[in-house]
Chain A
Amino acid sequence: MQDDHKHDHQTVEMYQKLGHITRQLHDALNELGYTPVLKGAADELPDARTRLQYIARLTGEAAEKVLNRVDEAKAEQDAVRQHSQQLLDTIGAVPGLKWAMPELLEWSQKIQASTERTDAHLTEIMMAQDFHDLTGQVIKKVVALAATIEEQLLQLLVEAAPQAHPVAQPSAAGASARPHDPLQRDALSGPVVNPEGRTDVVTDQSQVDDLLASLGF
């Protein structure tokens, strides 16, 4: 109970100090004439957000177009594969044909092998469209970040105005550091953009498997 009271007191003291620093920053911004620069930056953020959303929409549409074409191409490939199989069956069923015209058999077998390879390529092309999901998640995060920065810049501008009100005390509950909770969407980090030097993330499926195996899963 006493510890809680002490912790609350320290938190209030910390926010008072932060408020003081913020006030000094506001004053410095005004004196140095940076307020218009901040306003310009705040004004540009909605445009940046719109541009990012445009990229997300266009890449999404492009991925869908590719998937549509892949579906169609796979169906065509399957038809070719079935016809080449019918040809192989026919050659086998006509007595002496495969001896009389061995190239027919060879060509049909080559077509069969080729359709299988093409189908595998089409699967790879389909899988590559996952870039839309991965980049889309990153774009969503950047758009949210831009919105937060814009909001904070506007708040700073409001408070740096000549008739500024005293700095509002932030809510301790809302601003307190939150431990990582996987159930919280905000706590999820999305794709790892730069894994270099990080030990808290995995970079491929084999590391996932090793981690789970080491824990007995």
Chain B
Amino acid sequence: MPDLRFLIVDDFSTMRRIVRNLLKEIGHADADEAEDGVVAMHKLRNGRFDFVVSDINMPNMNGFELLTQIKSDEKLKHLPVLMVTAEARKEDIIAAAQGGAAGYIVKPFTKATLEDKLANIFKKMGR
């Protein structure tokens, strides 16, 4: 799926860069970045994206709020949202799944984990 456009949402530039580089290595070079949910929603509403990779603990609008907004927006709710976060509480993982997240990766993670989760999501999407 080399034609997919990703939006990477994380308040730490280091992590955005790591995820972006990993996606590139996996074969997804088309990506943009946002430092929080507010910027992400603005970019999503004003651009074309196929996939969102989002942190949870961010200022202004956190990953849960972003997920809720995406899933309640008619034009965006089809977007798969993969949570990549240090939040390791079971209740947060369950809340993300119930909120419509396509997957949940806990930091620190490996390239193989990201590759595996993306493959699973694409399989479920039938791509």
A-side interface residues toward B, CB under 8 Å?
60, 63-64, 67, 71, 123, 126-127, 129-134, 136-137, 180, 182-183, 185, 188-192, 195, 200-205, 208, 211-212, 215, 217
Contacts and interface: CB of A to CB of B under 8 A. Distances in A.
Given A201-B88, A203-B88, A132 B14 contact: yes
14 contacts: A123-B22, A127-B18, A127-B110, A130-B18, A130-B107, A182-B91, A188-B62, A189-B87, A191-B86, A204-B106, A205-B109, A208-B93, A208-B104, A208-B105
B108 A201 contact: no
A127 B111 contact: yes
A182 B64 contact: yes
Contacts of B10: 133
Interface string B50-85: 000000111100101100100000000000000000
A205 B12 contact: no
Q: Which of A129, A134, A189, A208 counts the most chain B CB atoms within 10 A? A: A208
Contacts of A203: 88
B92 A188 contact: yes
Given A133-B14, A211-B93, A190 B111 contact: no
Given A67-B17, A126-B21, A130-B18, A189 B89 contact: yes
A23 B107 CA distance: 45
A129 B90 CA distance: 26
B90 A136 contact: no
A183 B106 contact: no
Contacts of B64: 182-183
Given A185-B59, A190-B86, A133 B93 contact: no
Given A137-B86, A180-B91, A215-B94, A191 B14 contact: no
B95 interface: yes
B39 interface: no
B15 A130 contact: yes
A196 to B, nearest CB: 13
B114 to A, nearest CB: 10
Contact of B15 (A123, A133, A208): A133
